[in-house]
DNA sequence: TTCGGCACTTAGGACTATCATG
DNA sequence: CATGATAGTCCTAAGTGCCGAA
């Protein structure tokens, strides 16, 4: 049967080449052979990967490793229990659970050197090895971590739901009604929704459509609130409503808070404001030449530069300590080129006799004195008394106060980045061809101001004028300029906690929630289209599959003069390695030149397709999706839902994953434990989105320290056990000799070293304390202690050393503490073991977290309402999850949901 | 259909404040 | 009370995606 999966009629290709629109049957078949669809995967290792295409069920392999689990699955997409309709059993399989063979698998190359801080850098350079080589080398250590307990989960989930259903039968029905009323068909089984009723109509008028949730939802809520007072489900909302009126009154008296998320109508999505007043931008301070004695050195000779050139030299000099830039040849080359241009213009340098020195070679430049001067300045600033620092800060604040806020439709709103970017050296990431170039000072003449017609236009600095004054009501920016290196547009916009940003955030998440209603349909479609005989469709379906399953970015085309990074649509031949039967290895640099490495199992058909897309004559450097662009992809996606683009999948899958994880969580334990559990879920999402950070410089060191500490504790455990024998020789028999054995890895050599280290540590501590005490005495004008006193105090350390020495000699440990008994010692051992366990957990946590950044997903991908609900339900203060700024940013979420809310 | 222009979100790293810890 | 680790903030680069003109 496996050869019949291509049941669609095939149009004969004209030339038979892959690049034709149609996929020749022969090729498709050939691919079948190369990638045997019935290739066996050991069920023990394999997590079920790609969702099974119904059309492929005749292929044993794909089903083989999912075995019985699938049958029992109940779709939980909407948080409601119902039998999954039709053939999309796996559509809702939570992302993070599926298909990552190596969720946290480190690429083989990284493994060797986790202690080196430059590893990430290395990892970020494009691998030179061929794709095949990578495949092979990683063969050996396909790390299979994180296997999530799918079975258990679905059982728990079902039980959970049942319980819930019983608890709130009434509630549920009320909710159901209200939900329907409020235009959310969350509860309707997939089967019923899948008909693309809206399809055609929605296509073009996305503007108004995508706004629908924003506009309609709150309105619906409000309308509901009145009549529903009696139903339990509505109580919450009724209350909110009541509070609101009160608050409104209060608000009017003070600041007046605008609860836009409760405001119906408002904003058709294009017009963003009616009136807009603001103070413009703050320019960076003019360059202040360094004191005369600070010289740039050329070829060993201290020379003087024209201030303009000196400023540029100072950019470079001040960053001598960040090897990241200064050791990058491109950075140096670009810098020197731009530096030379300015030097040519300003007459190069003068030596102390006023003779011109021409600067020709970068290697002969010495920026050290400049660097040192900057360092000393920095130190000076740091050493400033706290009071002075504060005063300085306050002064700056008052100076900038006017720029901090604007008036947006008459409401005071915080402005985000009102400071114009100061000149500097461009720090492009990864292998950016322009990194190191001089980013010039921005003049008022380059800046366009966007402001209300009736508002007072901010004064440009004396003797200057703005480039242009606009009154663009459809823009949310206050000022704009273009930077000189890439021609990038820079905008001054409102801060994240402003209404306007909040609104678009809200919209974003509502859009993702809407995708929930269409996702099954979409998944079904792309699975079907994976087999389309049209190359374009097949590529598109495959791409959507990757975006959906692995949270890849869209992957727009990039220019020549940018770093060479990719996303889904721009994946190149060498970024994807195929390992039969159905394992795919992704290895490429994504946004910010962050490496994406993942070894996953995919749907058999996807594997086959990728093989076709990589078919000769394609080779390194060629596009895998050569018939696909992001705009074609997005255009296709809009057919399903207005405003649906590739990016929405990331939001959806991230939030959906978080929602699932939080829902599965048990409300038990201390607050700390709950927070930890939340962070673990957060981490899973971060891993899904490949949000990374560079490993902290001291990571390996602090790791080692922890290990030593743990070993120290283990040693103490052993010693305590030995003390038991000292107290009562009989325990040795009772507990067995094994109990008293010192762990093997803590061999005699280690022990001696450890003892010495302990003694030394104690000695240091005593000495330090002594010195400090003395200082104190000196400060109080009293007599300092004699060195003899120190000697006496150090006796303790010697005693310890002696004790250890004796222990080593006799092989016995004298019991410590008063009235030691076996019982007491046993509790002591227990306590020590507990501490060891805690530390181990802490350590693992740290290690697992060392290159995962949680912030990005929390700020951009996880619907904040999920966190708010979690906080309320589990009774953990929201402060534990959101910092002050985040609480402000997510104000709308905090104030708008009760604990019944679901993503 | 492609391309450049434009506006907006997403991103990691540098810098800074705060907290724990010894 | 210093000191190092961690959390929080700031900065700006690097994406996405839309639009209209060629």
What's the predicted TM-score (pTM) here? 0.73
Alpha carbon A763 to its chain's center: 44
Q: What is the DSSP string of A286-315?
A: PP-PPPTT--EEETTEEEEE-HHHHHHHHH
Element (H, E) at A297: strand A296-298
Shortest CA to C1' contact from A564: nucleotide:
C14
Give the closest residue to A576 by CA, choosing from A63, A127, A240: A127
The mean pLDDT of A217-232, rounded to a whole number, is 34
Select the more confidently predicted residue: A132 or A396.
Answer: A396
pLDDT-derived band at A642 (thresholds 50, 70, 90) equals: very high
State the pLDDT at residue A441. 97
| A712 sits within 7 Å of strand B by its CB | no
Residue A208 contacts residue A643 (beta carbons within 8 Å) = no
| A638 sits within 7 Å of strand C by its CB | yes
Shortest CA to C1' contact from A284: nucleotide:
C11
Q: What does the alpha-carbon distance between residue A613 and residue A865 come to, in Å, rounded to a whole number? A: 41
Q: Please give residues of chain A from 435 to 454 whose alpha-adjacent beta carbon (CB) lies under 7 Å from any atom of strand C.
A: 439
pLDDT-derived band at A30 (thresholds 50, 70, 90) equals: low
| A856 sits within 7 Å of strand B by its CB | yes
Q: What does the alpha-carbon distance between residue A662 and residue A512 come to, in Å, rounded to a whole number? A: 18
- Positive or negative: CA dihedral A410, A414, A420, A421: negative
Q: Please give residues of chain A from 54 to 73 whose alpha-adjacent beta carbon (CB) lies under 7 Å from any atom of strand B.
A: none
β-pairing, A448-450 vs A468-470, is parallel
Give the closest residue to A533 by CA, choosing from A11, A895, A122, A5: A11
The mean pLDDT of A88-93, rounded to a whole number, is 38
Q: What pairs with residue A449 in β-bridges?
A: A469, A479
Q: Extract the tokens encoding A216.
A: 């309609």
pLDDT-derived band at A328 (thresholds 50, 70, 90) equals: very high
C1’ B21 / CA A757, Å? 20
| A627 sits within 7 Å of strand B by its CB | no
| A639 sits within 7 Å of strand C by its CB | no
Shortest CA to C1' contact from A649: nucleotide:
C16
User: What rounded mean pLDDT belongs to chain A?
Assistant: 76
Angle between helices A307-317 and A368-383 (to 10 degrees): 70
Shortest CA to C1' contact from A429: nucleotide:
C13
The mean pLDDT of A794-816, rounded to a whole number, is 88
Q: What pairs with residue A480 in β-bridges?
A: A448, A491
Give the closest residue to A420 by CA, choosing from A506, A337, A366, A483: A483
Q: What does the alpha-carbon distance between residue A777 and residue A784 come to, in Å, rounded to a whole number? A: 6
State the pLDDT at residue A818. 77
Strand B: which positions are within 7 A of a protein CB?
Answer: 2-3, 5-15, 17, 22
pLDDT at A314 over 50: yes
Q: Extract the tokens encoding A275.
A: 């009136």
C1’ B18 / CA A895, Å? 28
State the pLDDT at residue A312. 97
Longest dimension (CA), chain A: 102
| A861 sits within 7 Å of strand B by its CB | yes
Q: Please give residues of chain A from 186 to 215 whose alpha-adjacent beta carbon (CB) lies under 7 Å from any atom of strand C.
A: 207
pLDDT-derived band at A361 (thresholds 50, 70, 90) equals: very high
| A336 sits within 7 Å of strand B by its CB | no
The mean pLDDT of A488-498, rounded to a whole number, is 97
| A540 sits within 7 Å of strand B by its CB | no
Which residue is it, tokens 């294009």?
Answer: A270
Select the more confidently predicted residue: A709 or A386.
Answer: A709
Q: Is A380 helix (H, G, I), strand (E, B) or coil?
A: helix
pLDDT at A438 over 60: yes
pLDDT-derived band at A737 (thresholds 50, 70, 90) equals: confident
**Strand blocks (E) in A594-704:** 595-601
Residue A91 contacts residue A528 (beta carbons within 8 Å) = no
Angle between helices A864-873 and A499-529 (to 10 degrees): 100
Distances (CA, A) of A483 to A284, A307, A442, A446, A634: 15, 22, 8, 9, 29
Shortest CA to C1' contact from A594: nucleotide:
B12
Q: Please give residues of chain A from 573 to 612 whose alpha-adjacent beta carbon (CB) lies under 7 Å from any atom of strand C.
A: 590-593
Shortest CA to C1' contact from A500: nucleotide:
B8
pLDDT at A214 over 70: no
Q: Please give residues of chain A from 267 to 306 whose alpha-adjacent beta carbon (CB) lies under 7 Å from any atom of strand C.
A: none
The one catalytic residue among A298, A640, A678, A861: A861
User: In A689-821, where does DSSP find H-type helix?
Assistant: 699-727, 731-735, 748-779, 787-810
| A147 sits within 7 Å of strand B by its CB | no
Our separate counts of H helices and E strands in chain A read: 32, 17
Tell me the backbone φ, ψ of residue A577, rounded to 5 degrees: -115, 135
Report the half-sphere exposure of A880 (CA within 13 A, side-chain side).
19
Question: Among A148-162, A311-325, A471-485, which range has the highest average pLDDT?
Answer: A471-485
State the pLDDT at residue A267. 52
C1’ C18 / CA A682, Å? 31
- Positive or negative: CA dihedral A313, A317, A318, A319: positive
Q: Please give residues of chain A from 400 to 429 whose alpha-adjacent beta carbon (CB) lies under 7 Å from any atom of strand C.
A: 416-417, 419, 421-422, 424, 426-429
Element (H, E) at A150: helix A150-167
Known catalytic membership, residue A861: yes
Shortest CA to C1' contact from A491: nucleotide:
B7
Give the closest residue to A903 by CA, choosing from A659, A678, A548: A659
Shortest CA to C1' contact from A435: nucleotide:
C13
C12: residue with closest CA to C1': A421
Residue A210 contacts residue A643 (beta carbons within 8 Å) = yes
pLDDT at A31 over 50: yes
Q: What does the alpha-carbon distance between residue A131 and residue A109 come to, in Å, rounded to a whole number? A: 13
Q: What does the alpha-carbon distance between residue A509 and residue A257 come to, in Å, rounded to a whole number? A: 22
Q: What does the alpha-carbon distance between residue A317 and residue A305 come to, in Å, rounded to a whole number? A: 14
Alpha carbon A548 to its chain's center: 18
Strand C: which positions are within 7 A of a protein CB?
Answer: 4-19
Q: What does the alpha-carbon distance between residue A226 and residue A246 come to, in Å, rounded to a whole number? A: 16
Q: Does the N-terminal peptide bond of residue A581 adopt cis geometry, omega within 30 degrees of 0? A: yes
Q: What does the alpha-carbon distance between residue A320 and residue A299 come to, in Å, rounded to a whole number? A: 18
Q: Is A100 helix (H, G, I), strand (E, B) or coil?
A: strand
Residue A636 contacts residue A526 (beta carbons within 8 Å) = no
SS3 of A667-687: the string is CCCCHHHHHHHHHHHHHHHHH
Shortest CA to C1' contact from A321: nucleotide:
B14
B16: residue with closest CA to C1': A382
| A554 sits within 7 Å of strand C by its CB | yes
**Sequence-separated (6 or more) residues with CB below 8 Å from residue A684:** A96, A657, A661
Q: What does the alpha-carbon distance between residue A682 and residue A702 come to, in Å, rounded to a whole number? A: 24
C1’ C20 / CA A550, Å? 34
C1’ C13 / CA A808, Å? 60
The mean pLDDT of A646-668, rounded to a whole number, is 94
pLDDT at A562 over 70: yes
| A647 sits within 7 Å of strand B by its CB | yes
Query: Above pLDDT 70, what percent of chain A?
Result: 71
C16: residue with closest CA to C1': A647
Q: pLDDT, tens digit, for every residue of A826-847?
A: 888 988 888 888 788 788 888 8
State the pLDDT at residue A819. 80
Q: Please give residues of chain A from 742 to 801 whose alpha-adjacent beta carbon (CB) lies under 7 Å from any atom of strand B.
A: 765
Give the closest residue to A696 by CA, choosing from A121, A117, A120: A117
Q: pLDDT, tens digit, for every residue of A600-615?
A: 999 999 999 999 999 9
Q: Please give residues of chain A from 843 to 872 whose alpha-adjacent beta carbon (CB) lies under 7 Å from any atom of strand C.
A: 846, 855
| A507 sits within 7 Å of strand C by its CB | no
pLDDT at A476 over 50: yes
**Sequence-separated (6 or more) residues with CB below 8 Å from residue A596:** A552, A586, A587, A588, A589, A590, A690
Q: What does the alpha-carbon distance between residue A523 and residue A533 come to, in Å, rounded to a whole number? A: 18
C1’ B7 / CA A14, Å? 44
Q: Of A451-465, A482-496, A814-828, which gets the smallest average pLDDT?
A: A814-828
Q: pLDDT, tens digit, for every residue of A227-266?
A: 333 333 333 333 333 334 444 444 444 567 888 888 755 5
| A862 sits within 7 Å of strand B by its CB | no
| A292 sits within 7 Å of strand B by its CB | no
Q: pLDDT, tens digit, for every residue of A511-558?
A: 999 999 999 999 999 999 999 999 999 999 999 999 999 999 999 999
C1’ B14 / CA A133, Å? 37
State the pLDDT at residue A264. 57
Report the half-sphere exposure of A879 (CA within 13 A, side-chain side).
2
C1’ B16 / CA A685, Å? 28
First to last CA, chain A: 41
| A885 sits within 7 Å of strand C by its CB | yes
Instruction: Compute the C-alpha angle A36/A38/A41, nearest 5°.
Output: 105
Map out the domains of chain A with their CATH numbers: 37-47+517-628 (3.90.15.10), 276-284+389-499 (2.170.11.10), 296-388 (1.10.10.41)
DSSP letter for A3, please. Answer: G
| A161 sits within 7 Å of strand B by its CB | no
The mean pLDDT of A271-293, rounded to a whole number, is 96
Residue A882 contacts residue A890 (beta carbons within 8 Å) = yes
State the pLDDT at residue A37. 35
Q: What does the alpha-carbon distance between residue A865 and residue A898 come to, in Å, rounded to a whole number? A: 9
Q: What does the alpha-carbon distance between residue A464 and residue A420 come to, in Å, rounded to a whole number? A: 15
The C-alpha torsion from A189 through A192 and A197 to A202, rounded to 10°, is 0
The mean pLDDT of A675-703, rounded to a whole number, is 92
Q: Of A132-141, A271-280, A303-312, which gets the smallest average pLDDT?
A: A132-141
| A889 sits within 7 Å of strand B by its CB | no
State the pLDDT at residue A66. 29
Q: Of A92-101, A848-857, A861-870, which gets the smallest average pLDDT?
A: A92-101
pLDDT at A39 over 60: no
Q: What does the alpha-carbon distance between residue A542 and residue A548 come to, in Å, rounded to a whole number? A: 10
Shortest CA to C1' contact from A765: nucleotide:
B22
- Positive or negative: CA dihedral A316, A320, A326, A332: positive
Shortest CA to C1' contact from A887: nucleotide:
C8
Q: What does the alpha-carbon distance between residue A269 and residue A209 come to, in Å, rounded to a whole number? A: 10
- Strands in A411-414's sheet, in edge-to-edge order, are A276-277, A405-408, A411-414
The mean pLDDT of A24-29, rounded to a whole number, is 56
| A565 sits within 7 Å of strand C by its CB | yes
C1’ B9 / CA A426, Å? 21
pLDDT-derived band at A275 (thresholds 50, 70, 90) equals: very high
State the pLDDT at residue A105. 39
Q: What pairs with residue A350 in β-bridges?
A: A304, A356
| A542 sits within 7 Å of strand B by its CB | no
Q: What does the alpha-carbon distance between residue A135 and residue A195 come to, in Å, rounded to a whole number? A: 42
């Amino acid at each position: 049967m496996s050869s019949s999966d291509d049941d669609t009629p095939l149009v004969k290709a004209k030339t038979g080449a892959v690049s034709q629109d149609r996929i020749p049957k022969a090729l498709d078949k050939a691919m079948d052979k190369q990638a045997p669809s019935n290739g066996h995967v050991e069920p023990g290792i394999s997590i079920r990967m790609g969702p099974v295409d119904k059309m492929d069920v005749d292929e044993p392999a794909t089903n083989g490793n999912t075995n019985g689990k699938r049958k029992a699955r109940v779709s939980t997409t909407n948080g409601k229990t119902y039998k999954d309709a039709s053939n999309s059993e796996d559509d809702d399989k939570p992302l993070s659970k599926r298909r990552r063979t190596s969720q946290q698998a480190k690429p083989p190359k990284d493994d060797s050197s986790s202690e080196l801080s430059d590893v990430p850098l290395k990892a970020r350079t494009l691998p030179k090895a061929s794709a095949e080589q990578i495949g092979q080398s990683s063969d050996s250590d396909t790390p299979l971590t994180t296997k999530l307990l799918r079975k258990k989960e679905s059982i728990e989930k079902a039980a959970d739901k049942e319980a819930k259903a019983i608890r709130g039968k009434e509630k549920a029905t009320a909710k159901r009604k209200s939900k329907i009323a409020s235009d959310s068909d969350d509860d309707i089984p997939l089967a019923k929704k899948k008909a693309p009723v809206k399809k055609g109509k929605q296509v073009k008028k996305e503007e108004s459509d995508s706004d629908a949730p924003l506009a309609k939802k709150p309105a619906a809520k409000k309308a509901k609130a009145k009549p529903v007072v009696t139903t339990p489900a509505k109580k919450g909302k009724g209350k909110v409503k009541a509070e609101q009126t009160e608050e409104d009154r209060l608000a009017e008296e003070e600041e007046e808070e605008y609860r836009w998320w409760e405001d119906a109508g408002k904003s058709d999505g294009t017009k963003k404001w009616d009136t807009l007043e603001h103070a413009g931008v703050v320019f960076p301070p003019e360059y202040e030449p360094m004191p005369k004695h600070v010289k740039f050195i050329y070829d060993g000779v201290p020379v003087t530069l024209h201030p303009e050139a000196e400023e540029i030299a100072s950019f470079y000099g001040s960053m001598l300590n960040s090897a990241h830039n200064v050791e990058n040849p491109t950075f140096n080359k670009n810098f020197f080129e731009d530096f030379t241009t300015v030097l040519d213009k300003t007459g190069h340098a003068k030596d102390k006799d006023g003779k011109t020195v021409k600067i020709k070679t970068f290697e002969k430049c010495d920026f050290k004195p400049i660097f040192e001067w900057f360092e000393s300045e920095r130190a000076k600033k740091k050493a400033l008394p706290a009071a002075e620092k504060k005063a300085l800060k306050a002064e700056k604040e008052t100076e900038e106060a006017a720029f901090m806020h604007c008036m947006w439709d008459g409401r005071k709103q915080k402005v985000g980045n009102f400071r114009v970017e100061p000149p500097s050296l461009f720090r492009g990431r990864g292998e950016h061809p322009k990194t190191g170039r001089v980013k010039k000072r921005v003049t008022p003449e380059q800046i366009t101001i966007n402001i209300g017609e009736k508002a007072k236009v901010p004064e440009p600095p004396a003797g200057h004028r703005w480039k242009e004054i606009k009154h663009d009501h459809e823009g949310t920016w206050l000022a704009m300029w273009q930077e000189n290196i890439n021609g990038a547009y820079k905008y001054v916009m409102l801060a994240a906690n402003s209404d306007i940003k909040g609104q678009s955030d809200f919209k974003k998440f509502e859009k993702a929630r809407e995708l929930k209603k269409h996702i099954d349909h979409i998944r079904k479609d792309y699975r079907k289209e994976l087999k389309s005989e049209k190359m374009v469709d097949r590529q598109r379906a495959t791409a959507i599959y990757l975006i959906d399953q692995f949270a890849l970015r869209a992957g727009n085309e990039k220019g020549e003069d940018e770093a060479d990074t990719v996303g889904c649509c721009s994946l190149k031949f060498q970024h994807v390695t195929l390992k039969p039967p159905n394992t795919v290895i992704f290895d490429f640099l994504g946004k910010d030149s962050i490496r994406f490495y993942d070894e996953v199992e995919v749907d058999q058909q996807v594997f086959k397709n990728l093989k076709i897309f990589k078919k000769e004559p394609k080779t390194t450097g060629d596009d895998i999706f050569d018939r696909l662009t992001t705009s074609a992809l997005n255009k296709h996606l809009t057919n399903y839902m207005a405003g649906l683009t590739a990016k929405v999948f990331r939001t959806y899958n991230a939030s959906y994953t978080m929602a699932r994880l939080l829902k599965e969580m048990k409300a038990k334990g201390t607050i700390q434990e709950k927070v930890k559990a939340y962070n673990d879920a957060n981490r899973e999402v971060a891993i899904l989105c490949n949000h990374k950070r560079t490993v902290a410089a001291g990571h390996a060191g602090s790791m080692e320290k922890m290990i030593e500490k743990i070993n120290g504790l283990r040693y103490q455990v052993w010693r305590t056990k030995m003390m038991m024998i000292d107290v009562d020789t009989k325990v040795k028999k009772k507990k067995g000799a094994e109990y008293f054995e010192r762990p093997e890895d803590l061999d005699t050599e280690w022990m001696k070293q450890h003892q010495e280290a302990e003694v030394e540590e104690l000695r240091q501590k005593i000495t330090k304390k002594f010195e400090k005490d003395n200082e104190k005495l000196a400060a109080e004008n009293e007599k300092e202690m004699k060195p003899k006193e120190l000697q006496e105090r150090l006796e303790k350390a010697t005693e310890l050393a002696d004790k250890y020495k004796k222990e080593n000699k006799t092989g016995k440990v004298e019991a410590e503490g008063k009235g030691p008994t076996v019982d007491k010692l046993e509790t002591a051992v227990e306590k020590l073991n507990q501490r060891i366990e805690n530390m181990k957990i802490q350590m693992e946590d740290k290690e697992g977290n060392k290159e995962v950044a949680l912030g990005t997903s929390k700020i951009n991908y996880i619907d904040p309402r999920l966190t708010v609900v979690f906080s309320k339900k589990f009774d953990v203060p929201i402060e534990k999850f959101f910092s002050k700024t985040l609480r402000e940013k997510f104000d709308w979420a905090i104030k708008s949901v009760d604990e019944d809310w679901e993503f």
